[in-house]
Amino acid sequence: MGITSRLAGFVVDTSFSDIPGDVIEKSKDMMLNVASAGLAASGQREVDIITQYVEDMGGKPVSTIMGRGVRSSPLYAALANGFMMDLPDYDGAVRRRNNSAARKIGPAVMAVGECMALSGKEVLLAFTLGCEVSTKLGAAGDLDDPIQPRMARYGWNVGTVAGVVGAAAAVGKLLGLGQEPMESALGIAVSQASGLNRNIGTAVTSFEGGQAAMKGIMAAMLAQRGLAGARNDIEADEGFFGCYRRDTRETMVDEDEFFHTLANPYDVIFPGMLLKFYPCSSDNGTPVEATLRVVKEHQITPEQVQSVHVAVIQPHTVMYTRPETGQQAQKSIQYCTAVALVHGPPQLHHFTDKAVQDPDPRVRAVMSKVTWEATEQSTLEVPNPSTVTITLTNGQQLSYRAKHEKGHPGNPMTPQELDTKFAACGRNKLSPDQIKEAIDQFHHLDELPNVAPLVSILGGEPGRTQ
C-alpha cells in the first residue's frame, strides 16, 4: 500500500471515540492557546498588510478573520489567521519535533468548520489528526533525535513543510473524503509544501505558516472535486521524504516503524506539547526561566549586576545580538534575558518594534552585560536546558540551571494560567463578555453543536482593535 495510502486510511478511518481522553483535552488547550496567539498579533502593522491584501482579493465572506471584525473565504481567512497565530511566536511546539503544528492546523479547521457549521467534535477530531500527521511526518525517521528532525538541518522549516500536509489531512477529514480522494489531497499538499528556516525572525515565516493552512484547505477541496494527485507522493524516490529528508537507502523511513509510532502515543502527549508562557522563541524560554529564578531567589536589582553569562544548547535559529524589531528581539538572548532581569516575566508589550528600538535604559544597560555560549547538551529528558550565572558588582556569583521553561510538559501552565493568557491576548480585541464566553466554549468544544458562534466571537468588535 505505501505510506501515503496507509496514512490516508488512518485519517479516514479514525473516529472521535478512538482518540484518548487526554489527547482530546490537550487538543482543546492547544486550540485555546493558538487562538490566544492570533489575538495577540491581530493589531500589528504586519497584520494590516495581510488583512488589506485579503480584502482586496475578495471572496465569499463566510469565515472570520480574528480580531478584525471582518470575514473572507475559508482560504483567505486561514491565510490571515495562520499569519497572526505565527507572528508573535507565542504558541508552542511539540518538543523534539521542531514543529508548531497547531498554528497551521488550527486556522484551517476553524475557517472550514465555521463556514460548514460543523460540530466541535468534528473540528476537534480533525485538528487532532492533522497535528499528529504533521508532527510524525515532519520527524519521521528521527523521532528519537533530542534536538530536531533531519529536514530542519537542511534548512527547511519543518512546521510549514509538514504543516500543509497535516492541514490537508485535517480539512479532508472535515469534508468527509474517502480513501482515494484523501490520498490525492495528501499528494496535492506535498506538491505545495515549502518554508525556510532562513526566514525565521521575519514576517515571511508567519506568511509561510498562513500559506500552509491555506494550501491545506486548497488541497483537500480540490481533491474533493476530483483533482487527482500522485498517490505515493510521501514515500516515492523524489517525493516528500526523498526531497525534504534527502533519503538514501541507508536513511529511508521504515514504513512499519512509522505506523507503529503513529498515534502510539500521540506526539502531544509524548514527547509532549509546549504551550508558551513567555512570548519569545523556545531557544530563549529556558534562559528566561533561569534568570527569573535567580532574581527571585536572591532579590537582585539591575544596578547590582556586573555581568550575565548564559549557557544554552546550540540554538535552532539565528540569534540577534542587537535586535531592531520585535520579532528579532524574540530571538535575542541578550534582550530576553535583560527584560526578565529588569521587568520580570516578559510580556507582549516588551516585543513591539517601539519597545525594542527605544528600550528602557536599564534593559539596554543589562543587554551590554549579557554573553552566551552553546555549552549545554540536549537530551531526550531535558531537550533545552540553560544555566544563567549572574555576577554581582561585589564579585558574588549566583547561578541557576533551568531544565524546562514555563509551559513545557515538565513545567506546565495551570488551566487558570492558560485562561489568563487568552484574556491578556484578547483584552484590546474582545469585550470582557466575549473573552469569558470564548474561554468557556473552548473548554467545552467537544460539546458544541456548531463551532461557528465561537469562531465568530474571535472576530471581535469592529473598531475595537488597537
Which domains are seen in the chain, by residue range?
3-272 (1.10.4100.10), 282-402 (3.30.1330.120)
What residues contact 154, with CB distance under 8 A and at least 6 apart?
A: 244, 245, 246
Residue 326: phi and psi, rounded to 5, are -60, -40
Determine the Cα–Cα distance for residues 137 and 124; give it in Å rounded to an integer: 20
| Local mean pLDDT, 10-residue blocks, the chain (466 residues) | 96 98 97 97 93 93 95 98 94 87 97 98 98 97 83 93 98 98 97 91 92 98 94 92 89 94 96 93 94 97 97 85 91 96 95 93 96 92 93 97 94 95 94 96 98 96 50
A 10 A CB-CB count for 61 gives: 15
Q: For residue 379, what pLDDT is reported?
A: 85
Q: For residue 461, what pLDDT is reported?
A: 63
Determine the Cα–Cα distance for residues 461 and 47; give it in Å rounded to an integer: 17
Task: Supply 366's cell numbers.
Answer: 543589562
A 10 A CB-CB count for 392 gives: 16
Asked if residues 308 and 369 have their Cβ atoms less than 8 Å apart, the reply is yes
What residues contact 176, with CB distance under 8 A and at least 6 apart?
A: none
Q: Model confidence over 2-22: pLDDT tens digits?
A: 999 999 999 999 999 999 999
Asked if residues 31 and 442 have their Cβ atoms less than 8 Å apart, the reply is yes
Handedness of CA 284, 285, 288, 294 (dihedral sign): negative
Asked if residues 464 and 428 have their Cβ atoms less than 8 Å apart, the reply is yes
Determine the Cα–Cα distance for residues 307 and 393; give it in Å rounded to an integer: 8
Q: For residue 229, what pLDDT is reported?
A: 79
Q: How far apart are the first and last CA of the chain?
A: 53
DSSP helix/strand/coil, 376? coil
What residues contact 283, with CB distance under 8 A and at least 6 apart?
A: 312, 315, 316, 317, 319, 331, 333, 384
A 10 A CB-CB count for 228 gives: 13
Give residue for cell 509538514: 162
